[in-house]
Amino acid sequence: MSTTSPTVGGPRLYSTLSRRSEPLEPGPDGTVRMYVCGPTVYGPVHVGNARPFVVFSVLKRYLTRRGFAVRFVSNVTDVNDKIYAAAGREEVPSAELAARYLAEYVADTDRLELGRPDLEPTVTGHMPEIIDLIERLITVDLAYPSHGDVYFRVNRFPGYGKLSGRRLDELLVTEPGDAKEHPLDFALWKGHKPDEDTFWESPWGNGRPGWHIECSAMAQSALGPSFEIHGGGIDLAFPHHENEIAQSEGANGVPMARIWAHNEMLELGGKMSKSEGNIILLRDALDRWGRDVLVAFFLRTHYRSKLPFGDPALEDTARQVETIRNTILALDRAESAPGTGINRELADTLVAARNDFFDALDDDFHTPRAFAALFEVIHAIHRAVDGARPGLAQLQATRSEFVALLDVLGLASLAVSRPGAPVEIVALAREREIARAEGDFARADELRAEIEARGYEVRDTPEGPQVTSR
């Protein structure tokens, strides 16, 4: 069955720039071009970094199902003050540290099984483009060299503050420095310092780029001077994205991106960040909860809402994930003993829920409403298989359509049989079942935790406990 919706009008996304929902229209070549700010690789990626990765990876999946060609670019910052500081603490070369954490970032996010962005540019791979962009800004008098550094003239760019809604007289200095014409000016190029073990040649002397110019250059190199979507965490809106706009639009004279889409923060007693020390590593979250639960957790809350990270919400998500798995199993069992004819309620619910699903995603990528539509289908499936069971053709078609909707959200894996457990894990599961039968629920919980620590999970089903890999 088709997985596209008959919705008229097409997708809309909220833009931080316009403060309203905007229609998403492809570029001149028919492609939706999307640039999303990725991580700075100075340590292992934490679960908060995974939220934009999941949100924008699934946004691409959805747009692709809606018939759009999508080019998704997400950068990696591999030259940065934080990288130099971390390399000093670990007493290793900064390039070695960045390469190691870049490889770990790719390995950890690969475990989310959402695919890679189409391009993942690095700063070190774009030095000529960065230097060229700085030279153009100097040529149009929006930037100036000073004592080996180069700074952007904030008060020369008339639109500065339009993304964050801030006026120049309200801004605080984010980059102190004595070599600047104005306290609000920010660095495009930083002269080499003795404690930095890498540098690049430039017309202004040896050094390396400032953070903001890096993304302007990489985005333009990959997608051109103007594109459809720029994404990232809301914490980047100021100053990073504000400065990107000033640099790119100052140099090119055209809007950098038509829609600025920002996801809200993951919270663990406040914004989750390495600098605050309140982080949970992505790999640890994946080890404990598995990719299905983690991906579903991110999508059950709207991307523009804050998302508290904790056991109660993840346990609730795990129960919903299990309900989806059990629904697929119920369909599979029903196919082995089908009824006859058509169950009209199931057919009508599936059509309505499919439309609701895509209407929700069309409306500012409202994944919680899409989940609600899935559960309308789930309830109808269980009523059908437990009552006037339909014929085999309808059961198979329902399963196919339901899995196709799950696939839009990156959750089709819930319909795939997973490998069984080795003998020692099965033995633990049997011991747990005995403990439960004897009323020793504390021991049963201990055994479940031990099974999960070894990468498996116990699912209690009407046919008895099942053990599968996570």
* Strand pairing report for 20-23 and 207-209: unpaired
Based on the number of CB atoms within 10 Å of its own CB, is 118 exposed (0-12), middle (13-18) or buried (19 or more)? Answer: middle
Tens of pLDDT, residues 374-430? 999 999 999 999 988 999 999 999 999 999 999 999 999 898 755 566 767 877 887
129-181 pLDDT per residue, tens = 999 999 999 999 999 999 999 999 999 999 999 999 988 776 666 667 778 89
The residue among 224, 243, 275 whose CA lies nearest residue 232 is 243
DSSP 3-state of 75: coil
Q: Which two tokens stand for residue 2?
A: 């088709």
Q: In the block, which residue shows the tokens 């639009």? A: 249
Cα–Cα distances in Å, from 334 out to 89, 383, 413, 461? 60, 12, 20, 15
Closest CA to 416 of 452, 462, 469, 456: 469
Give the Å distances, CA to CA, from 130 to 71, 119, 151, 219. Answer: 22, 17, 14, 11
Quote the CA–CA distance of 452 and 461 in Å, as a whole number.
17
Cα 80 off chain centre by: 22
User: What are the tokens at 262?
Assistant: 């920002």
Spell out where 367-463 has E strands.
456-461
What is the pairing mode between strands 69-74 and 31-36?
A: parallel
Give the pLDDT score at 452: 86
Q: Which residues, in sequence order, are CB contacts of 420 under 8 Å at separation 6+?
A: 467, 468, 469
CA dist 224 and 222 (Å) reads 6
**Tens of each residue's pLDDT in the chain, 470 residues:** 444 544 457 999 999 999 999 999 999 999 999 999 999 999 999 999 999 999 999 999 999 999 999 999 999 999 999 999 999 999 999 999 999 999 999 999 999 999 999 999 999 999 999 999 999 999 999 999 999 999 999 999 999 999 999 887 766 666 677 788 988 999 999 999 999 999 999 999 999 999 999 999 999 999 999 999 999 999 999 999 999 999 999 999 999 999 999 999 999 865 556 655 668 999 999 999 999 999 999 999 999 999 999 999 999 999 999 999 999 999 988 998 999 999 999 999 999 999 999 999 999 999 999 999 999 999 999 999 998 899 999 999 999 999 999 999 999 989 875 556 676 787 788 788 777 777 788 888 898 888 888 888 877 655 456 777 76
Tokens of 420: 């069984």
Rounded CA-CA distance 6/358 in Å is: 9
